[in-house]
Structure 1
Amino acid sequence: MTESFLPHMNGVTGSVLQILRHLERTGHQAHVVAPAAAGIPTSVSGAAIESIPSLALPGYRNVRVGTSPAHRVAASLRRFAPDVVHLASPFALGWRGVLAAERLDVAAVAAYQTDVAAYTERYGIAATTGFAQTHIARLHRRATLTLAPSSEAQSQLEQLGVDRLRRWGRGVDAERFHPTRRDLTMRRQWGADGDAVIGYVGRLAPEKQVEDLVAVQSVPGTRLVIVGDGPSRARLESLMPDAIFLGHLEGEALAAAMASFDVFVHPGESETFGQTLQEAHASGVPVVATGRGGPLDLVRMGVDGWLYRPGDLDDLRMRVADLAGDVRKRRAFGEAGFDAVQGRSWASICDQLLAHYEEAQTLKRVDTSLRARRVVRPEQSRPVVSMRWRRYVALGDSLTEGLCDPAPDGALRGWADRLALLLASRGGLHYANLAIRSKRVSDVCGYQLQRALELRPDLVSILIGANDLVKRRVDIPALAASLEDAVVQLREIGADVVLVTPFLPGRRAAGMYTSRFAAFATALAGIATRTGAILIDTDLHPTLGDRPHWGEDLVHLSSRGHRFLAYRVGEVLAVPHADALGLLDAALHEHEPIGTGLWWRRHALPWVWRRMQGRAAGDGRSAKHDGYVYLGRSSAARDVPVH
């Protein structure tokens, strides 16, 4: 679903066309929904084009805005039955698209490409800027995944409260845009036999700030050439009477013009990416661009171009004059820019897009399985840089102690013990498990934390909170504040901290607590962001709630569940082959019996009796590993003092 399409050619349309070509080459089916316009094709690259009613955008009679209601868009999607809905630069039609995707329970990937809020300011209608920002935030928060083209665009979206952001740039046609396209005949037509050509390519509109080129039109020994068209053209021609205006160019003519420049200038401050900068670099032309937005990621200062201070036209003129007057520097910068874009083909960029589609489908399944809405949605945990930790301490309650996961000798194992064995496979590990059944956040943040600080670990895991969250009354902000203080103290001694969100069995009776667990998980996500802790968001693994993962008491993980959690954490901690080991382990235990037992007599009634007496199962118990035990083959590696 795209806000802009043929016959109107711009950055959004160009990206969509490249995506369609790649989908066709890789054997995928595509369907395009776009605003109707005179001359719109019925198919492109094997994809049917469905045009919907539209209106012309004021001031841009060639730009159309789709007007179909969400239910009609949903009907269109239902007929095609997509796996993923791609929203190209969504705003008006994109809003209806994201609502339609929700109705059909389909993943929606929103590609942020146009800074509409900045455009409203540039057009002098600042009263609508707040509305535009609110709408952008609302739309992208409803999309399953948002793709930001640059680091600054990603930062802007984060400030608006948009989550699930990924970086996805744009490819460049390095065969079309190439230094060999340089055309000396064209340069002579421009009257630039001995002059350096300063070039611009883009829409001639207020948001592009093309009028700033007035500052460079009189640089000695240069010619200013402007490629493009738009509502500002007449005014710009009067402002810059000595500049050469070529109008709209495309295809081979555009590539020849770009390669025939000596310096490419990009003055727009609201560019989320800056595709023409890549095309200039591919053409072997150095770039001078404003130090804001997309150019920050595309121009390397003093290597392949210059970034000037936004709004400082004297700095712009100085940077352009520097390159215009130095042939050797221009050549060096141009070669560096050419080298930089060679790995950014549209094929590789679109392969990245397909990976984002797959991730969005996974996240959509997670969102659908959630029983309570999250303020901050579950986010895929990125594997950390592979490290060899030498001292690991586990904090928590019965889940980390290992209840319902007996070893052959009757001792308790649990997910943390299993994770410790995975970590020890790298060459040995000192491991302590301070978890005790029935304990709460106050216990982890109290004596367990103090003992952990004494042990000076370099890795700590914390899985706690379930016993607090099932109490009659709970203060989630207070629990989170205590836990954050504990994480900060551990981080201050140099420890990596793994925070695991508490989880519930997939039973109807657990439903009364889902909103609490969701709120606590959101709080832990915030703690991880602020402290640099490693978050294991168990909502991303909805099968953890399945009956086979729970013991006969229905409140603790079974051996299968402990194994599952251990391998999921191992994957995030970049344990070699953790995913493959997990699959092998699961296959070996595929027919493991699931004990049902006399649940009420063995588990429920004793728990109720202890609560009535004000007791807990962990009263009087000590941690199973209050000090370090060494896991490994060689005693020579036991060089860490045990307290």
Structure 2
Amino acid sequence: MRVAIVTESFLPHMNGVTGSVLQILRHLESRGHDAHVIAPAAVGIPETVDGARIEAIPSLALPGYRNVRVGTSTAHRVAAALRRFQPDVVHLASPFALGWRGVLAAERLDVASVAAYQTDVAAYTERYGIAATTGIAQTHIARLHRRATLTLAPSAESAQQLASLGIDRVRRWGRGVDAERFQPSRRDSALRAAWGAEVVIGYVGRLAPEKQVEDLAALNGVPGTRLVIVGDGPSRARLESLLPDALFLGHLGGEALAAAMASFDLFVHPGESETFGQTLQEAHASGVPVIATGRGGPLDLVRMGIDGWLYRPGDLGDLRMRVADLAGDARKRRAFGEAGREAVQGRSWSSVCDQLVGHFEDARMLHRVDAGARARRVVRPEASVPVPPRRWHRYVALGDSLTEGLCDPAPDGALRGWADRLALLLAARGGLHYANLAIRSKRVGDVCGTQLERALELRPDLVSILIGANDLVKHRVNVAALALRLEDAVVRLRGIGADVVLVTPFLPGRRAASIYTRRFSAFATALAGIAARTGAILIDTDLHPSLPDRPNWGEDLVHLSSRGHRFLAYRAAEVLGVPDADALGVLDAALHENETIGAGVWWRRHALPWVWRRLHGRAAGDGRSAKHDDYVYLGRSSAARGVSVS
């Protein structure tokens, strides 16, 4: 894989973003991937790192941070740099200024992009006393991450923050820790003696307003302790006057930092705008208990009463009490430190970067989906997480001709369809009672009316709903009203304890169908919202761009063929946790081929009869009843009678 990294920060300035990029480069090289870095130019920036070329672009110094550079290149120049490298994916490291141009450039080149949210810029604007720009910063962050194919959030709270800004496709991705460098054996008795304290309270990080280091003044006078501060930044002079008894060591790196960290007795971190908190992990790896604010990244890293304490944000009295508790209890410090060391053992950079490569692959797949999307959606297609394996006993299918199974005849001539095939896959777990209430030509009103009432009488524990196509091709349609009525039906089904599978309607890949794409996309967006609010299981067919292909459609060109029904059944089975559903689907597809149909036959058998029914105000489903209005049992006995998914 060829990975281009557009980063807001890089060497020689060392911070959390730079450190993460360096680890990613090391990992990509070890796994045989090619990498290329686009970073702000600075004196001392290297030309290559771990086999990756570093392309420095024009930059300006950040006010207050002369060593921190902000890239000033245009999106056109960034796109030109990417075009020369020809990446498979663009990784945006803590994107904001240069990252914005990076995401625009990736769009121009039609390349997937992954944005790693690492810096809470909006919170920084508040800390720096320019709160008027906070709304602007949030708007910029939202539009940037909405344009990225995928966004990576380092903590649960940051993921929620991104979701509140309307950012979709958010994945969790933390940071690794170098447990070989940071470990208890680095503890240095000579260093501790030089510090001259019985209990050392340590802090490591940038000395800047957003880090809230001034809050550590609340620790003045805690008996037998001394505060040791590692780091540098624009606030250092002011902090030295606020904390006259503290020892300021300046910036440390490498072995010196590891020795200092391991020589602390406890580690404090007061910042409330941390999206992750890498130094907390390094303290735990060093066997040092952590006390941090109960907000942001620390919520995911510190286990209360196990490896540290979380104090109430802004409550400096609580901070002092937590520090005094550990400072006065060596046994508790030792127990917390051992628990913290054990907790980080599975967070190596190798495993974390393997996860990142997985996210790159996910982004490439989603980018292909977006490229083939029928219309831009407010909520982009998102893969459903497979539900935990479970066994359903009563399954009811609701819908129209697609669920009835038109164009999917069984050997005996009866219709089956995707829902019937799904029922057989579910029955393989030990038998299933199955009813199919779908009837051709029906609409949302029918499913939410007579079909729903019958389903409620049957008391199912699983219900599938695929409906809406017949409404969406009408001359006029109110998508919002359709969705509202369907949501009421889902709520009622969920109210009796049933799991509900919602399938988004889809169109064949024909030019004539394109006039309806916006309606279908709007309805799919609405179904995604229904699923999120009700806990329904969404099967978003936009994630399967091959579904509209001709072989998946029957001879009438408006209903799925047997192949299409098999495809949809196996995709649903995957989401419902049927073992090996994907492999079974591949095998099934290999065993069957679809026959094509001539245009003349299509007009005679399907198009003209449909026009005739419309002219006379009739529908194909008039007078028909559901093929399984009550439960049929699928299990060993039904298999013996020749029921098959072939």
Same fold by TM-score greater than 0.5: yes
Out of 425, 438, 441, the position equivalent to 1:438 is 441
Structure 2 Cα separation of the partners of residues 596 and 558 of structure 1: 15
Residue 457 (structure 2) pairs with residue 454 (structure 1): yes
2:551–2:594 Cα contact (<8 Å) kept: no
Task: Give 1:117's aligned residue.
Answer: 122
Whole-Å separation in 1 of the counterparts to 2:410 and 2:310: 63
Once the two structures are TM-superposed, the CA of residue 608 in structure 1 deviates from its matched residue by 1.0
**Of 77, 80, 84, which aligns to 1:75?**
80
Report how far residue 283 of structure 1 moved. 0.3
Query: Are positions 1:86 and 2:88 aligned together?
Result: no
Q: Secondary structure at the match of 1:627?
A: strand
CA distance in 2, matches of 1:170, 1:39: 26
Q: Which amino acid aligns with 2:510?
A: R
Q: Deviations over 1:507-564 (max 9, x none)?
A: 0000000000000000000000000000000000010000000001000000000000
Distance in 1, matches of 2:353 and 2:376, equals 32
Residue 494 of structure 1: aligned partner: 497
Q: Distance in 2 between matches of 1:556 and 1:240?
A: 74
The equivalent residue for 1:384 is: 387
Partner of 2:643: none
In structure 1, give the amino acid aligned to 2:151: T
Q: Give, as a single letter, the amino acid of the residue that structure 2 aligns with 1:352.
A: Q
Which of the residues 298, 301, 306 maps onto 1:303?
Answer: 306
Q: TM-score, normalised by structure 1?
A: 0.98
Contact 2:563 2:589 in 1 (8 A): yes
| From 32, 46, 54, the counterpart of 1:27 | 32
Aligned to 2:590: 587
CA displacement at 1:609 relative to structure 2: 1.0
**1:222-271, CA deviations, whole angstroms, 9 ceiling, x for partnerless residues?**
01100000000000000111100000000000000000000100000000
State the distance in 2 between where 1:448 and 1:391 align: 16
CA–CA distance in structure 1, aligned partners of residues 179 and 376 of structure 2: 45
Distance in 1 of aligned mates of 2:168 and 2:139: 14
Tell me the CA shift for residue 596 of structure 1.
3.4
What is the alpha-carbon distance in structure 1 between the residues aligned to residue 387 and residue 87 of structure 2?
33
Moved more, 602-611 or 623-632: 602-611
Task: Tell me which residue corresponds to 2:548.
Answer: 545
Cα distance in 2 between the residues matched to 1:391 and 1:248: 65
Query: How far apart, CA to CA, are the structure 1 residues paired with 2:612 and 2:128?
Result: 71
Cα offsets for 1:99-122 (capped at 9, x unmatched): 000001100000000000000000
- The answer for the alignment partner of 2:644 in structure 1 is none
Question: 2:38 is matched by which residue type in structure 1?
Answer: V
Cα RMSD, aligned residues only = 0.9
Deviations 1:350-400 (A, max 9, x none): 000000000000000000001211111000111110111111000000000
Q: How far apart are 1:634 and its partner, in Å?
A: 5.3
Q: 2:366 pairs with 354, 360, 363, which one?
A: 363
| Counterpart Cα distance in 2 of 1:576 and 1:296 | 35
Q: Which amino acid aligns with 1:317?
A: R
Task: Report whether the alignment pairs 1:507 with 2:510.
Answer: yes
**What do the CA deviations read for 1:117-165 (whole angstroms, capped 9, x no partner)?**
0000000001111100000000000000000000010010000000000
Give the AA of the match of 2:63: P
Distance 1:423 1:191 in 2: 69
Residue type matched to 1:70 in 2?
Answer: A
Match of 2:3 in 1: none
> Match of 1:319, as an amino acid?
R
Which residue of 180, 185, 189 corresponds with 1:175?
180
CA shift at 1:217, angstroms? 2.7
| Corresponding residue number in structure 1 for 2:620 | 617
How far residue 599 of structure 1 moved from its aligned partner, in angstroms, is 1.0
Amino acid across the alignment from 2:263? S
1:565 aligns to what? 568
Work out the number of aligned pairs and report it: 633
1:207 aligns with 2:205: no
Residues 66-94 of structure 1: per-residue CA shift (max 9 Å, x gap): 00000110000000000000000000000
Distance in 1 between residues matched to 2:581 and 2:311, nearest whole Å: 48
Counterpart position of 1:322? 325
Partner of 1:220: 223
- The alpha carbon displacement at 1:183 in A equals 0.3
**1:556 matches 2:559:** yes
Match of 1:608 among 605, 611, 614: 611
> Which of 598, 606, 629 is matched with 1:596 structurally?
598
Question: Structure 2: which 5+ residue stretches go unaligned?
Answer: 1-5, 639-646
Between the aligned partners of 1:603 and 1:375, the Cα distance in structure 2 is: 35
Residue 639 of structure 1 is matched in structure 2 by: none
Task: Find the residue that maps to 2:7 and give its secondary structure.
Answer: coil
Q: Counterparts of 1:217 and 1:559 in 2: how far apart (Å)?
A: 76
Task: Indicate the residue corresponding to 2:23 in structure 1.
Answer: 18
SS of the residue corresponding to residue 343 of structure 1 reads coil
SS in structure 2 at match of 1:542: coil
Residue number among 137, 142, 154 corresponding to 1:137 in the alignment:
142
**One-letter code of the match for 1:290?**
T
5+ residue gaps, structure 1, are: 636-643
Aligned positions of 1:159-308 closer than 5 A: 159-192=164-197, 195-308=198-311
What is the aligned partner in structure 1 of residue 401 from structure 2?
398
Q: 1:605: Cα distance to partner? A: 1.0
The corresponding residue for 2:159 is 154
CA apart distance, 1:594: 2.5
Counterpart secondary structure, 1:543: coil
Query: Matches of 1:533 and 1:392 in 2, distance apart?
Result: 15
Pairing of 1:31-46 with structure 2 (within 5 A): 31-46=36-51
Q: Which secondary structure state, in structure 2, belongs to the residue aligned with residue 170 of structure 1?
A: coil
